[in-house]
Structure 1
Amino acid sequence: MKRTEYPRPQFVREKWLNLNGEWQFEFDDKNEGLVNNWNGLKEIEFTKHIQVPFVYQSEASGINDRSVHDVVWYKKQFFYHKNERAIVYLHFGAVDYEAMVYVNGQLAGTHVGGNTPFKFDVSNLLEDSGNQEVIVRVTDRHDDEEMPRGKQFWEKTSRGIWYTNSTGIWQTVWLEEVNQSHIDDLRYHIRYDEGMVNLAVRTLGSVKGESKLVYRISYQDEIVSQGEQLITSEVTTIAVDVIQGHIFSTNFHDDGRSWTPENPNLFDVELKLMLDDTVIDRVTSYFGFRKIHTKNGMVFLNNKPFYQKLVLDQGYWPKGLLTAPSDDDFIKDIDLAKAMGFNGCRKHQKMEDPRFLYWADVKGFVVWGECAAPPIYSERSVARLMLEWTEIINRDINHPSIITWVPINESWGVPNISHDRMQQHFSQAMYHYIHSLDNSRLVISNDGWAATETDIVAIHNYMHGQNSEKDKYNYYRESLFCKESLINNPSTAWPIFADGFGYQGQPILLTEFGGIAYEVSNQEGWGYTKVGSEEEFLEDYKRIMSAIYASKGLWGYCYTQLTDVEQEINGLLTYNRDPKCDLEKIKKINDGYHIPNVE
């Protein structure tokens, strides 16, 4: 089992080397590796072998050890012939949580944060002989409550809604060779109502006034725009007329080339950095032409009302845990969700691999991006989360499928936000900070309850009860009926807004509910409400969804959840992605709502 696909599909170069596969591995429970020069200063063979990028706790890693080890080491020896005229970057897709990276016995750099990529320029650390060695020391302290850990449990055995801990490398490791002058970054700024897009291209090492960017944008093999622009500063902006001859307005109906879940159209981009007539760097990319905004209590996609039918997706797999065993597993999850009539997902307490986002872009599947949360609030946890979100947006800003950011979930990491002004300030700071980096998406301040400033009022409510609990269900149904009842009678233990904040006319979505637990493999599992057969499962699903669709206050939902995960059996699918019922019947229920005509 090896992850061999290109790891960064939004920014592709031809020349790269995949370093996934077998590495040497060692636990360092006594934390003696640095003292004893495990970093490559001495010839030391580690006693275990691991399949990267799977964490040691997973079956796919070849180790499958669920016990807690706070410090681990990796070693990889490989052949790579050094090009003296090139820069070589060593990339890590994600390492949980603190990484120290050594190349041929020398420190290449360090990184803190378990969800985001990082790279080091290792050009001067490579051996001329071609024989190279990378060693990685990872620290992931299970008792560190200031660490954004999300659903990862701090004990050996998972329980309830908490899943197996993941330590170490869990996304692709790779080398990339570039010219001394190269394209470093590319951002798309969609100007939807003008029919235009701005390409902001950052170059490093280019000769200003002599180097130029040559670009080509195409749609289904038809060239939309091409040209060249002289480089006069570090960031070059290229303005492109994507939809020619159209005047956009709030009532505009696009010409069929916008990105939607039904028609996930993508524009292909080729960028070349040239000096004289020589191509010194080439990157291929893509973008989706779309706009998301709110107005009059509704969400609009491309200036049209957009009712979201989302499913909660934890992003765990039986063999790989946080790491999908293959690229096909991402495709399968999206296809199964769409087959049930969902048009997107909320990735819960995890920033997913860019390969998933690529397939969401290609297949038309909207995504809410959500980072893992720390268990407690402190100055350190705040700083860590802010850093992580900076890197999240740097990585994912160009994916059209992502339409909403969720920086806080159910007051995790801000337990006193309902009344603590300091924690409220943090929520507001995250809301404004994310918007200051990305003006193309919606931001939720606190998904579930105790909201501060927010673009969507996101409510969690599992109080629908069993089928036999008529009084409880009737109260649940009534509390969903209109905006006033949703805000004032939420059927939850917490207020919808934190002290000092109130409803400002935002769209209201029910972003966690359901959790119908149907055991199909004779496992002793945990769930919100349990049923005993496929018929009961479908009946209960229809019962709950009928209350959602009857609501005149909701503008979408997120059902809990796509799959079972370990001991949690709230999924529409089993942990192995086997349907628990006829998916067409789920789709028929989900297709029961149609957006009303709205001007």
Structure 2
Amino acid sequence: MSKKKDNGVPGLCRTRWSRSINPADTWKEYPRPAMVRASYINLNGMWDYCFTPSPNIPARFEGQLPVPFSPEAPLSGVGRRLSPDEFLWYRRSFTLRKQQKDQRVLLHFGAVDQECDVFVNGKPAGEHTGGYLPFTLDITDITEEASNELLVRVRDYSDTSCYSRGKQKLDKGGMFYTAQSGIWQTVWLELVPDPYISAVHFTPDYDGSCCRVRITAGGRRKGGPIRCTVRPETEEDRQYRDDPARPAAGKQSSGTVCVRTFSPDREAVLPLPGFHAWTPEDPFLYHATLEMEDDRVECYFAMRKCDIQTGSDGLRRIFLNNSPYMQTGVLDQGYWPDGLYTAPCDEAFIYDIRAMKDLGFNMLRKHIKIEPQRWYYHCDRLGMLVWQDMVCGGSSYRHWFVTYLATLFNAMHITIKDGRHSRFLLSRRDAEGRKQFLRETKETIEALRVHPSIVCWVPFNEGWGQFDALKIADFVRSLDSTRLIDHASGWFDQKGGDLCSLHYYFFTLKFRPEPVRALALTEFGGYSWQVPGHSYSEKLYGYGKYDSRQTLTEGYRRLLSSTILPAVKQGISATIYTQLSDVEEEVNGLYTYDREILKPDGETVRKLNQELKDAVNRH
């Protein structure tokens, strides 16, 4: 890559998108496609910012940065890291049109890393802890019809606290990456009536040919009856989600398959005889218009089922819509050289998903990160299964135990319990950190369960902050019984959940079919090739090292043909290759970090993926 700068982004940090976008004018798409209203004010763009050593409001600000890019991200133009002992301030103004009677003003944040306090017109509006989850503040009583000032104060402890942090590390390197902070997803306003629809949960009942729906109402007044109109999704519906100002297709009754009226906070049943099922090959969506008094929301859902059943070969396997279905996936870290946690634009999301589909993959494991809602929407509409990791936390990880010794124990079939006596070794002695993990697990499921592409929840990975995984699996099941649970991906299996989850990098792949759980190879490969001119760092981190496309492709082919395909025939129901792209020092991606170079031969990858699918789907 050229060292020339475009939009202030160094050449080795650029992608094809950051060459052309204006960071101050990106991420204007509707941020919540699964629940759309016409009233929408996007607050992304240039905000004042300031770093301070104290929590006091600064007398003046240092400059401007483009929200939602973190100050650490090259696209922000700041190039400054927020330290754990500092505060990061944001400021901008917004104007509201004259409010109607009983109208509420809702302020939405997609995600702010890690703690934040919000002020509107100098008055406290609310606070939030947790750097990966959306939150909403009702700021009606502290706004004016004229100009309003919005202040956000952020503190980020990164990996020096027990809070969830994912793959971020202040001292980055190897499998851990640049720490980022502050606002990294869309900020937006909604003007809603009182009462209003605040949450929507669709639960497909595939065998019952119906979908269950529960609507939660918000506001000061009690919500009245809700009218729900369901029809197959049209192209106009898709366009409306990207531009809520255009007339909604839901105003037309053409194609309606179901109409029901029900009360808020009570489950209703939407009968769908002869429904059209959702699959990655045919991602068919149903569109729902919800109307409650003066409120109107456009939503969607899909009819699909994912569970564990016994195949015709007598082995427990993952089924999709009551048929055996091989899930061939890749590990997806969701990092970008120009935006870190924030993709440079919506088109970049679409590119990653389509690139993996083109290679024959039908699943992405979103690794230790929660994406903006638009990423899941694209998986829903394009047809990509998702395994969603919870974000790991805890004190500093003891890699001699959770990586090296755990790998050896796993090869020797030695099980390490993750109860009270292991909390020191697994970095979970802090009670507040455990409580925070439970809160965030619940909030993650509540925020994302509307997306039909998600078919599996993954609470823990390789012992990073793991604790009481059996109890956590039961907790997840109580929140959502319709999806698979991989309760402990990798080394610290506690014999719970729906899957025996194996990682394979070093030792011989050994496994035994089980009578209840299915087998899944949830990480493997990680083969590396550092492509000159397309690498972030001179350092190299990976597992098998190669020096050309030809040798990498041959290594990949040999691994899949000699080890993975026989394992699939013997019971493995899902495979997840490490990984979608290089990330900083990790050069084990199918694509380079800038997404410019596909490293192995694409036709070879497609052919091997089809062989894996054929080995299972024929049963």
Give the alignment's TM-score, normalised by structure 1: 0.85
**How much has 1:597 moved relative to structure 2?**
6.4
What amino acid does structure 2 have at the position aligned with 1:439?
Answer: S
**How much has 1:67 moved relative to structure 2?**
6.4
**How much has 1:592 moved relative to structure 2?**
1.9
1 CA distance for matches of 2:515 and 2:221?
A: 51
Given candidates 6, 22, 43, the residue that maps to 1:19 is: 43
1 CA distance for matches of 2:152 and 2:98?
A: 21
2 CA distance for matches of 1:520 and 1:597?
A: 36
**How much has 1:66 moved relative to structure 2?**
4.3
Given candidates 52, 57, 64, the residue that maps to 2:79 is: 64
**How much has 1:317 moved relative to structure 2?**
0.7
Equivalent residue of 1:88, what SS? strand
Equivalent residue of 1:591, what SS? helix
1:132-159 deviation digits (Å, cap 9, x = unpaired): 111001111135331111100122xx21
2 CA distance for matches of 1:318 and 1:301?
A: 35
1 CA distance for matches of 2:387 and 2:342?
A: 19
2:301–2:450 contact (8 Å) kept in structure 1 = yes
Against the structure 1 CA distance between its residues 287 and 533, is the aligned structure 2 distance closer, same or farther, given a 3 Å change threshold? same
**How much has 1:438 moved relative to structure 2?**
0.7
1:413-434 deviation digits (Å, cap 9, x = unpaired): 13xxxxxxxx3xx212211111
Against the structure 1 CA distance between its residues 19 and 303, is the aligned structure 2 distance closer, same or farther, given a 3 Å change threshold? same
1 CA distance for matches of 2:30 and 2:378?
A: 13
**How much has 1:598 moved relative to structure 2?**
7.0
Q: Does 1:516 align with 2:540?
A: no
1:145-187 deviation digits (Å, cap 9, x = unpaired): 31111100122xx210110001111100000000011112111
1 CA distance for matches of 2:159 and 2:548?
A: 40
* Matching residue of 1:355: 374
Equivalent residue of 1:200, what SS? strand
What amino acid does structure 1 have at the position aligned with 2:498?
Answer: D
Equivalent residue of 1:592, what SS? helix
1:300-337 deviation digits (Å, cap 9, x = unpaired): 11101011101000000111100111110110000111
* Matching residue of 1:214: 227
Equivalent residue of 2:124, what SS? strand
Count of residues in Structure 1 that have an aligned counterpart in Structure 2:
526
Q: Does 1:554 align with 2:568?
A: no
1 CA distance for matches of 2:548 and 2:220?
A: 65
Once structures 1 and 2 are overlaid, which stretch shifts more, 505-514 or 143-152?
143-152
Against the structure 1 CA distance between its residues 597 and 292, is the aligned structure 2 distance closer, same or farther, given a 3 Å change threshold? closer
**How much has 1:64 moved relative to structure 2?**
2.1
**How much has 1:242 moved relative to structure 2?**
1.2
Against the structure 1 CA distance between its residues 566 and 230, is the aligned structure 2 distance closer, same or farther, given a 3 Å change threshold? closer
1:335-366 deviation digits (Å, cap 9, x = unpaired): 11111111111011101111110000001000
Alignment of 1:249-268 (within 5 A): 257-268=276-287
Segments of 5+ residues of structure 2 without an aligned counterpart are: 1-22, 235-253, 311-315, 395-426
2 CA distance for matches of 1:74 and 1:205?
A: 28
1 CA distance for matches of 2:484 and 2:202?
A: 17
1:555-588 deviation digits (Å, cap 9, x = unpaired): 1210000100011101010001121243223212
2:82–2:156 contact (8 Å) kept in structure 1 = no
* Matching residue of 1:92: 109
* Matching residue of 2:155: 139
Against the structure 1 CA distance between its residues 163 and 449, is the aligned structure 2 distance closer, same or farther, given a 3 Å change threshold? same
Alignment of 1:16-415 (within 5 A): 16-28=40-52, 30=53, 32-34=54-56, 37-38=57-58, 44-66=59-81, 68=83, 70-83=86-99, 85=101, 86-128=103-145, 130-142=146-158, 144-155=160-171, 158-205=172-219, 211-221=224-234, 223-229=255-261, 231=263, 234-244=264-274, 257-274=276-293, 280-296=294-310, 297-375=316-394, 376-377=427-428, 378-414=430-466
* Matching residue of 1:432: 474
**How much has 1:391 moved relative to structure 2?**
1.1
* Matching residue of 2:4: none
1 CA distance for matches of 2:343 and 2:388?
A: 17
1:497-517 deviation digits (Å, cap 9, x = unpaired): xxxxxx553111111110110
1:27-79 deviation digits (Å, cap 9, x = unpaired): 12x2x232xx44xxxxx331121110111100111212246354211111122
2:331–2:365 contact (8 Å) kept in structure 1 = yes
1:353-386 deviation digits (Å, cap 9, x = unpaired): 1111000000100001112211420211111111
What amino acid does structure 1 have at the position aligned with 2:547?
Answer: G
* Matching residue of 1:469: none
2 CA distance for matches of 1:8 and 1:510?
A: 32
2 CA distance for matches of 1:75 and 1:8?
A: 24
1:372-404 deviation digits (Å, cap 9, x = unpaired): 211420211111111111111111011010000
Equivalent residue of 1:324, what SS? coil
Once structures 1 and 2 are overlaid, which stretch shifts more, 197-206 or 73-82?
197-206
* Matching residue of 1:41: none
1:368–1:405 contact (8 Å) kept in structure 2 = yes
1:260–1:364 contact (8 Å) kept in structure 2 = yes
2 CA distance for matches of 1:173 and 1:560?
A: 32
2 CA distance for matches of 1:461 and 1:204?
A: 47
Equivalent residue of 2:178, what SS? coil
* Matching residue of 1:489: none
1:262-287 deviation digits (Å, cap 9, x = unpaired): 1111001111113xxxxx01000100
1:446–1:458 contact (8 Å) kept in structure 2 = yes
Q: Does 1:450 align with 2:488?
A: no
**How much has 1:596 moved relative to structure 2?**
4.1
1:216–1:223 contact (8 Å) kept in structure 2 = no
What amino acid does structure 1 have at the position aligned with 2:431?
Answer: E
1 CA distance for matches of 2:118 and 2:304?
A: 39
* Matching residue of 2:516: 505
Equivalent residue of 1:586, what SS? helix
Equivalent residue of 2:611, what SS? coil
Once structures 1 and 2 are overlaid, which stretch shifts more, 164-173 or 367-376?
367-376
2 CA distance for matches of 1:228 and 1:411?
A: 46
1 CA distance for matches of 2:432 and 2:144?
A: 39
RMSD of aligned residue pairs (Cα, Å): 1.9
2:539–2:585 contact (8 Å) kept in structure 1 = yes
Given candidates 583, 588, 600, the residue that maps to 1:570 is: 588
Segments of 5+ residues of structure 1 without an aligned counterpart are: 39-43, 245-254, 275-279, 415-422, 465-475, 485-502
1:97–1:139 contact (8 Å) kept in structure 2 = yes
2 CA distance for matches of 1:50 and 1:206?
A: 36
1:25–1:48 contact (8 Å) kept in structure 2 = yes
Equivalent residue of 1:483, what SS? coil
Equivalent residue of 1:535, what SS? helix
* Matching residue of 2:559: 544
Give the alignment's TM-score, normalised by structure 2: 0.82
